[in-house]
Amino acid sequence: MPVSLDLITGALSFLFTILILSYLIGDNPLFKIAVYLFVGVASGYVAVVIFWQALYPKLFLPLWQVALTADINRGLFLLAPLLGSLLLLFKLFPGSSGAARIVMAFLVGAGAAVTIAGALSGTLIPQVNATINFFDMRSAAARNISAFEALGNGAILLLGLVTSLAYFHFGARQRPDGSAKRFGLIEWIAWLGRIFIGITLGVIFAGVYAAALTALIERISSLVNFIRVLFGIP
């Protein structure tokens, strides 16, 4: 019988699923083998993807083309990324890792700018707009939602938003005995915020648990299917 690619994939998948699920009877060498091998394989895969998606097209290929065409202008333009990449390699040597600080500063600057833009345009503005839209009576009427229901739901949502934010306010006044205590009103609002955060985390927990349960069922189903296919059981 010729060994097909699907059969080998199925066998590997079967083996690693069994090794990982063996954790359910306790931490054991089989589980450790699977996890360590997984970390190694995943790291190797990430390194390869980085090479083919970033390093090769953005550095090695242009450098190769410059070497072939002897284009000085393009070569000068590649000097900064080449130098930066070489400086980063100094991170491997503890004695000279300070040389990589310049590139790390570059990454922090670029990362900070992307974070600011992302937080503003990706979260803050859309979330605030979506909260405001909850009080849009015309939009609610178009969806056959009564004004009372829209206002009630909007008020609950706004209350949850404000009190949850207040929960993360940690400004406090120092007492004469040295201990710190939040302001009375903030403390009260934060207590209400805890209820909303508890509800939110409960819903997230249920969602994650449902996803985990689905994954477990899928794995068990794949084990059963592999055995059925292997032994020709209908």
Partner 1 sequence: MRILTTTIAIAVGLLVLLGYFFPQASVFQLILLDWAILFSGVAAWVGIFNLVMVHADKVRRNAKDSVYSAILILGLLVTFTFGLILKPQHPYMQAFILNGIIIPVEAALLGVLTVTLLYAAIRLLRRRSDVMAIVFIFTAAIIFLGSVTLPLGDIPILGTLIRPWVSQIWALGGARGILIGVALGALTTGLRALFGVDRPYGGA
Q: Which of residues 161-220 bind partner 1 (CB under 8 A)?
A: 161-165, 167-168, 193-213, 215-220
| Minimum CB distance to partner 1, residue 147 (Å) | 16
Question: Residue type at 176?
Answer: P
Taken as a whole, the chain contains a residue count of: 234
222 binds partner 1 per the rule CB under 8 A: yes
Quickly count: other Cβ atoms within 10 Å of residue 97's Cβ: 13
Interaction pattern, residues 76-115, with partner 1; x per rule: CB under 8 A: ----xx--xx--xx-xx-----x--xxxxxxxxxxxxxxx
- The nearer residue to partner 1, 36 or 234, going by C-beta atoms, is 36
Distance (Å) of CA 221 to CA 11, 71, 217: 14, 58, 6
Stretch 51-70 residues interacting with partner 1 (CB under 8 A):
51-55, 58-59
**CB under 8 A: which stretch of 64-72, 136-144, 152-160, 175-183 binds partner 1?**
152-160
- The nearer residue to partner 1, 93 or 183, going by C-beta atoms, is 93
Using CB under 8 A as the binding criterion, the count of chain residues that bind partner 1 stands at 116
User: Cβ distance 173 to 181 under 8 Å?
Assistant: yes
User: Cβ distance 33 to 19 under 8 Å?
Assistant: yes
Sign of the C-alpha dihedral, residues 103, 105, 107, 110?
A: negative
- The nearer residue to partner 1, 37 or 227, going by C-beta atoms, is 37
Contacts of residue 17, Cβ cutoff 8 Å, sequence gap at least 6: 219, 222, 223
| Minimum CB distance to partner 1, residue 21 (Å) | 6
Stretch 21-40 residues interacting with partner 1 (CB under 8 A):
21, 23-24, 32-40
Gyration radius from the chain CA atoms: 28
- The nearer residue to partner 1, 145 or 177, going by C-beta atoms, is 145
Distance (Å) of CA 158 to CA 99, 118, 126, 165, 227: 50, 23, 15, 11, 53
230 binds partner 1 per the rule CB under 8 A: no
- The nearer residue to partner 1, 67 or 206, going by C-beta atoms, is 206
